[in-house]
């Protein structure tokens, strides 16, 4: 198989993961190849267990493998760093803030290393590692069951620890987010915990780079509160942000 075919098939899987469903005709037009070429690609991807064919010549992703935190740290690095810098600027001395697990919230923890008079609670190992030497920051770890793929804690012990605190601000990550359904994650444990995190916080921020807007790779969802802020990067299009602004969500697109 040539490089062009590999690149095209990787793009088909990416599009399927993003939209959940795509027709042969749509893929043919978007990728600039014939419908018969697309059908051969789909047959190959089906045999590899990456896609499942559906009626009408469409296809859907069977499984959406969750990217590990190690894989995600290198993705959209500049965008995540800009988002993290904006988020850090919202935090005031004396506040108590909560950081989710994830690469963008890990970047936020990095921005907070020189803070003073600040309490940071976190569910993520990356944030903890960033704050190890931050002597001006009081750090609380909401320990529980470790999800190795995300390097974050979930489960009843983490929920019990969470119930003992309240927060001025919570900064969350996500595998995907839609205006209608909220945060999309790989497991119900994650989405339940994120909802509890939001309930315990006065201000809610979701930090995601633009590629995650409108994305629905899994089937577990966390509902968003009435008031929250979506923070993304400047590559987010008006069309991607419009569903959120239409629902009254405050949106911020940060320029790297």
Residues 6+ apart with CB under 8 A from 208: 83, 104, 173, 174, 177, 230, 231, 232
Read off the pLDDT of residues 165-193 as tens digits, 9 standing for 90 and up. Answer: 999 999 999 999 999 999 999 899 999 99
pLDDT above 70: percentage of residues in the chain: 85
What's the pLDDT score for residue 71? 45
Which residue carries 């390097």 as its tokens? Answer: 151
CA dist 77 → 104, 135, 153, 233 (Å): 9, 26, 23, 11
The whole-chain average pLDDT of the chain stands at 87
Q: Are 52 and 60 in contact (CB under 8 A)?
A: yes
Taking each continuous run of H as one helix and of E as one strand, the counts in the chain are 10, 15
Give backbone dihedrals phi and psi of 163, rounded to 5 degrees, phi first. Answer: -65, -15
User: d(Cα 72, Cα 100) in Å, to the nearest integer?
Assistant: 15
User: What whole-number distance in Å separates Cα of residue 39 and Cα of residue 21?
Assistant: 15
For the residues 188-201, what does the mean pLDDT come to?
97
Mean pLDDT of 62-82: 60
Question: Chain centroid to CA 49: how far?
Answer: 24
Q: Which residues of 5-28 are buried (b: 16+ CB within 10 A; e: fewer)?
A: eeebbeebbebbbbeeebebeebb
User: Who wins on pLDDT, 105 or 6?
Assistant: 105
User: Which SS3 state, helix, strand or coil, does residue 248 take?
Assistant: coil
What does the DSSP assignment read for 93-104? Answer: TT-EEEE-SSHH
* pLDDT band of 134, cuts 50, 70, 90: very high
pLDDT in tens, 85-108: 999 999 999 999 999 999 999 999
Question: Residue 52's pLDDT is what?
Answer: 62
**Which of 61-65, 239-243, 245-249 is predicted with the least confidence, judged by mean pLDDT?**
61-65
Full-model pTM: 0.74
Given a cut of 60, whether residue 4 has pLDDT beyond it is yes
d(CA 102, CA 84): 12
39-47 long-range Cβ contacts below 8 angstroms, 24+ apart: 41/5, 41/8, 41/9, 41/12, 42/12, 44/9, 45/9, 45/12, 45/13
Which carries the bigger pLDDT value, residue 233 or residue 11?
233
Across 159-165, average pLDDT: 97
pLDDT-derived band at 73 (thresholds 50, 70, 90) equals very low
Listed ranges 35-44, 53-62, 63-72, 90-99; the one with the highest mean pLDDT? 90-99
């Amino acid at each position: 198989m040539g490089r062009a075919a590999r690149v095209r098939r990787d793009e088909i899987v990416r599009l399927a993961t993003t939209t959940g469903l795509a027709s042969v005709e749509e893929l043919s037009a978007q990728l600039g190849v014939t419908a018969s070429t697309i059908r051969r690609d789909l047959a190959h991807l089906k045999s590899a267990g990456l896609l499942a064919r559906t009626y009408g010549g469409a296809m859907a992703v069977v499984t959406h493998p969750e990217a590990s935190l190690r894989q995600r740290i290198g993705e959209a690095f500049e965008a995540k760093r800009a988002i993290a810098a904006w988020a850090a600027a919202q935090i005031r001395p004396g506040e108590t803030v909560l950081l989710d697990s994830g690469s963008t919230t890990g970047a936020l923890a990095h921005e907070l290393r020189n803070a003073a008079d600040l309490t940071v609670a976190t569910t993520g190992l990356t944030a903890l590692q960033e704050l190890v030497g931050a002597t001006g920051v009081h750090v609380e770890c909401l320990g529980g069951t470790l999800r190795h793929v995300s390097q974050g804690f979930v489960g009843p012990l983490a929920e019990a620890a969470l119930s003992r605190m309240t927060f001025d601000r919570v900064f969350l990550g996500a595998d995907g987010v839609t205006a209608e359904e909220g945060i999309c994650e790989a497991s119900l444990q994650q989405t339940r915990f994120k909802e509890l995190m939001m309930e315990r916080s006065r201000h809610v921020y979701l930090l995601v780079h633009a590629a995650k807007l409108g994305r629905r790779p899994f089937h577990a969802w966390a509902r968003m509160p009435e008031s929250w802020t979506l923070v993304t990067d400047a590559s987010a299009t008006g069309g991607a942000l419009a569903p959120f602004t239409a629902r009254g969500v405050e949106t911020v697109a940060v320029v790297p």
